[in-house]
Amino acid sequence: MTGAPTADGSDAAERPEARLERAVRAAEQALIEFEIAVETFRVEVENFSRLHHQKLGPMYTRLDELDALIAEARAARTGDPEDVARAQSARALVMPMPGVEELFGDWMDSAGLSPEAAAMLTDRPVQPPKRVRPSDEARKLYRELARKAHPDLAREEQERRRREEFITRVNAAYGRGDEALLRELSEEWAAGPAPAVPELSESEELYARLEWLARRKELLTVVARDLEDSAIGAMLRMAPDDPDRLLEEIAEQLLAQVSAREAELAALAP
């Protein structure tokens, strides 16, 4: 016989495991939300890193080349052994690796620059790097799918494997910003077998589940910290709402440095 309801409507004779079970459910949902946030930020860092390399890499390459040319010009003027050593070190930094042109084919010219890089440095029109950050709709679809199909919601090993395989496909689609595929995956999940209703767990199993969730949270915290502490992560935190504008500002600064180096090189010319 159950006890009389309390003032808040709960059963006075509530099972001892019930509160623990609620704690496990809450921890599961909290972990899923945290994983969604970490994965979303990881994709943003990865995509911003790609854009950073595509847009700014040629300018960094040009700066290294100018540094080598300046060092060589200074060494030729002074003949100082230390200047000569510095020039050799600077040139070594920009020397292509053996076989680079064979590996990259037409991607690089003999100077080590792609056509897009050369166009950028000579003010010719250049095709902007492809925008790969997921759209708002793609983010929404991804979050919905992650909350529904996350492997951490499975209690049986077979169901966990099914969810892991599905979420791997979801993550790949989200990483490419493929909104159409995310919609298809959402429909596929809705049409698939309903997740099995978990049976009531014993106290020992619930405690073990809480411990596993805690360990998982610790691992994700390390991943999140590494992402935030990375150079690209730090840049993203500077302009979370408009990272494209941040790239433009950095590009302007680098172009100014290129101009200054070119002027310095011209001043050293005989």
Measured distance CA(149)–CA(160) in Å, rounded: 9
Q: How many C-beta neighbours within 10 Å does residue 57 have?
A: 15
DSSP letter assigned to residue 206: H
- Among 4, 51, 95, CA closest to 247: 51
CB 148 within 8 A of CB 188: no
Q: What is the pTM of this model?
A: 0.53
- How open is the CA angle 185-186-187, to the nearest 5 degrees? 90
Instruction: Tell me the CA end-to-end span of the chain in Å, nearest whole number.
Output: 102
Torsion of CA 26, 27, 32, 38, to 10 degrees: 130
DSSP letter assigned to residue 52: H
Sorted by where each begins, the domain ranges of the chain are 16-133+202-268
Measured distance CA(99)–CA(172) in Å, rounded: 32
CB 27 within 8 A of CB 210: yes
Amino acid identity for residue 134 in this structure: P
3-class secondary structure, 70: helix
Stretch (H or E) spanning 169: helix 157-175
Q: What confidence score (pLDDT) does residue 107 get? A: 41
Q: How many C-beta neighbours within 10 Å does residue 182 have?
A: 25
- Among 106, 116, 97, 102, CA closest to 57: 116
pLDDT in tens, the chain (270 residues): 444 455 555 555 667 778 888 888 898 898 889 889 888 888 888 888 888 888 888 888 889 999 999 999 999 988 889 989 998 988 888 866 444 344 444 444 444 444 544 554 455 454 544 555 678 888 899 999 988 888 888 878 888 888 888 988 898 888 888 889 999 999 999 887 755 545 544 677 777 778 888 888 888 888 888 888 888 888 888 877 788 888 888 888 988 999 999 898 888 877
Measured distance CA(229)–CA(90) in Å, rounded: 29
